[in-house]
Structure 1
Amino acid sequence: MSDSEQNTQQDQENTTHFGFKTVESKDKASMVAGVFHSVAQQYDIMNDLMSFGIHRLWKRFTIDASGVRPGNKILDLAGGTGDLTARFSQLVGREGKVILADINSSMLNVGREKLRNKGLVQNIEYVQANAEYLPFDDNTFDIVTIAFGLRNVTDKDKALASIFRVLKPGGRLLVLEFSKPEHELLNKAYDFYSFNILPKMGEVIAKDGDSYQYLAESIRMHPDQETLKSMMEAVGFEQTTYHNLTGGVVALHKGYKF
């Protein structure tokens, strides 16, 4: 390999994408943190408006597909304001445990306040954690979920490997994430909505159009369904499947650790 080719490879290894921008890998986490510090207080309202409430159905489908049982120990990674945690807490019961983990302190604080206001306190813990370096022992969790969070991770392969490590044998990962629409007409309509409507909604409601511009761009930069499936398999997940929701606008990926 020539010097110029080595330099190019090093540049690629040291950079990543922040939306459509190329940035230093070491800087992405702090840039993403800035986005979610900004939108945390309006996050739930914007989710309802942006998805016309359909995000609740996507999350319900994820819960139903998880195979959760009383007594399970669950990691809700990038759990944000705690929608999945709230339902899991009810389903695992007193003998179970749910850990709501997020890298962003503002999102974690909003989630903690919301769940405590609902009276959900007995079996929930809160941990500020980076998905790439999870601070848990090997073989700890029956289920790990990450909903609308993987696309914001700097090194997705490292995060998937970290998740695999902390799952128990027989445990499962569920990744709920925006993906590639199945039909071109839907894809064009989705593009128009994402880049023309969404940032304006963010500007009016959350007073932050730039953050929602990033969120739209981050969706386009996220791996498609087959690519993410292959990434999961590469770190050891087996029986990997995905289910397209709303025409592939969102996909639920599932994989097992054996």
Structure 2
Amino acid sequence: MRIAIYGNDRKTSSEVATKLSQLIQSSDELVLDELNPEVVISVGGDGTLLSAFHHYNDLTEKVRFVGIHTGHLGFYTDWRDNEVEQLVSSLEHDNGQSVSYPLLDIEVSYSDRGSNDYMVALNESTVKKLFGTMVAKVYIKDQLFENFRGDGLCISTPTGSTAYNKSVGGAIISPNFNAVQVAEMASINNRVFRTIGSPIIVPPTESVTIVPMVSLHNVLTCDQLLIVDRPIKAITYRISQRRIYFAKYRHTHFWERVGNSFIGDDLDD
């Protein structure tokens, strides 16, 4: 099996990646291959795994991901830094098992007539304005839904619903639903201006399009990626036909992840 190791530059992560590399090189069943891997092992935290996902974006349908976390919290990472030997043993006995999660397709058009950008997010995309209030029209399946005014909007995948989306009051959605969630960020609601004021869930048969009323000075994020220097005309979001795959050696159930991440051991009878 061909393995790629993708780690951050922190001391603990580097040490784990080095040990992992040595164990793989001494294995008769595994080989290191950074260019055409079958399994990508992320060493760090959720941010490192997001970076690994975007690094191997073109191979998403061909690779499975495994996460080793070397910090305090890892929503996508199932293995601890002291379990490298057990992970290598699981890799050697791999039978192709996997679990998959939805991704978010993003199409961005620009008012300067430059070519459109096409991106894919594992967690979320946000749209904000650098200065002042963002004013934008929100369309659902090409029908005008609302005129938004506020700090911005967060558009997330089901797994990404536990990230930035949750912090701005969005709902947590099981990845069994192929849905897009739109959550408002500090929307303006008074006698003059109104928004829905609640997160909305959009099915895979519908898209969400955001049209800023002023194309300049907007910030668009796609996970850790950032666009700040282009005049944005419109952004369209829809559930992707592609998915991310994780090797299912020890893949924690989604709701167990949520409980471990946000509730912990505080579950008294």
TM-score normalised by L of structure 2:
0.24
More helix as a share of residues: 1
The answer to which structure has the higher strand fraction is: 2
Rg: which structure is higher?
A: 2
